[in-house]
Amino acid sequence: EVQLLESGGGLVQPGGSLRLSCEASGFLFSSFDMSWVRQAPGKGLEWVSGVSATGRSTYYADSVKGRFTTSRDNSKKTFTVQMDSLRADDTAFYYCAKEGRAAPNSFDYWGQGILVTVSS
């Protein structure tokens, strides 16, 4: 059974940093690209960042470019995002998502989501 478990969320002050992790199990982690998708409370979905299966390529939304850094450790089956210079509009549920085998950039499995609140 595929499982994705996010950790590391919480309350942080504007300008602060937070590191989210996603622990994967139940599939060949090193074969799939991974992404972070966020959702502000009561709002729609926003793709945030992604990393290729090997970890050599990373991708970012303009809204987080230069502030977020995504990486993965295939030996530990973990996927992380380091979030720096956080702003109030980064407040959201953050989901770890696995790319589908049949279609790139579509997400067939998602974590349960973890809340990041940026507030003073």
45 binds other proteins (CB under 8 A): yes
47 binds other proteins (CB under 8 A): yes
23 binds other proteins (CB under 8 A): no
User: In angstroms, what is the minimal distance from the CB of 89 to other proteins?
Assistant: 16
13 or 112: whose CB is closer to other proteins? 112
Among 75, 70, 73, 117, smallest CA distance to 96 is for 70
16 or 52: whose CB is closer to other proteins? 52
